[in-house]
Chains A and B, each alone.
Chain A
Amino acid sequence: KAGVTQTPRYLIKTRGQQVTLSCSPISGHRSVSWYQQTPGQGLQFLFEYFSETQRNKGNFPGRFSGRQFSNSRSEMNVSTLELGDSALYLCASSQGTGSSYNEQFFGPGTRLTVL
């Protein structure tokens, strides 16, 4: 089974721009979660999508948004980029239901640099 894939792997943007990151989950997984990883704040939960609906949300400003498509692929968008948005953005997929619903598998991440 193919793992979680994320595109692009690296991005460089300037302040004020917006960016879209993409995540393809493991086949059969219906839940996709997004996390931000920074040296200062560590790993922080952004949001989770399940069957095209946002099921859970972390404590991030409205500039961070996401969506999920019918094939479970997910995108996250960050508008009006700030320097502090520079981070590794990780996507994780899981079945989303049943006894393994909270076992998540991570992609390699997208490294976003904001200049």
Chain B
Amino acid sequence: GDSVTQMEGPVTLSEEAFLTINCTYTATGYPSLFWYVQYPGEGLQLLLKATKADDKGSNKGFEATYRKETTSFHLEKGSVQVSDSAVYFCALSVEYNQGGKLIFGQGTELSVKP
């Protein structure tokens, strides 16, 4: 079945360090891919998305490229800030009568130290 695998956390970085959170997926059909972020005590916020192969999603300095050949959607940021500390979720939605269904990875907790 469809699934998403993320690198395990927690990930601890110093401010201004480079961030990579790995995400790979297994899906039938042609999935759209998403990164969501969850701050403590809050719901999920959509960070970025990509709907087809080779698309690059970007937002707030974060980027991820949809790689169909490696079934990956790794999240990157060149210089993290303390305010980026949160849990990051990679997710997919497959395009066949499942418009409302997202499949999530297990989440990766990021902690950024000053």
Interface residues, chain A, with chain B CB atoms under 8 Å away: 4, 6, 31-33, 35, 42-43, 45, 48-50, 55-56, 58, 90, 92, 94, 96-97, 99, 101-109
Interface size class of B (residues with CB under 8 A): 20 to 34
Q: How far is the CB of A91 from chain B (nearest CB, A)?
A: 8
A11-B93 Cα distance, complex, nearest whole Å: 30
What chain A residues lie within 8 Å of B107 (beta carbons)? 42-43
Listed A/B pairs (8) with beta-carbon separation below 8 Å: A42-B105, A42-B106, A45-B103, A48-B99, A92-B44, A102-B99, A106-B44, A107-B43
CB distance from A7 to the nearest CB of B (A): 13
Residues of A within 8 A of B49 (CB): 103
Contact flag A55-B42 (CB < 8 Å), given A102-B95, A103-B49: no
B44/A45 in contact, CB under 8 A: no
A/B pair count, beta carbons within 8 Å: 71
Classify the secondary structure of B's interface with A. Answer: loop
CB-nearest residue of chain B to A49: B100
Question: Is B45 in contact with chain A by the CB < 8 A criterion?
Answer: yes
Inter-chain contacts of A31 with B (CB < 8 A): 99-100
The answer, yes or no, to whether B28 is at the interface (CB within 8 Å) is: no
A33 close to B44 (CB less than 8 A): no
Residues on A with C-beta less than 8 A from B32 are 102-103
Cross-interface CB contact of B89 among A6, A43, A99, cutoff 8 Å: A43
- Whether A42 contacts B104 in the complex (CB less than 8 A), given A90-B44, A107-B43, comes out as yes
With A42-B104, A42-B106, A102-B32 given, is the CB distance from A108 to B99 under 8 Å? Answer: no
Q: Is the C-beta of B97 less than 8 angstroms from some C-beta in chain A?
A: yes
**Which residues in window 31-53 of B have CB below 8 A to A?**
32, 34, 36, 42-46, 49, 51
The interface residues of chain B lying within 8 Å CB-to-CB of A33 are 100-102
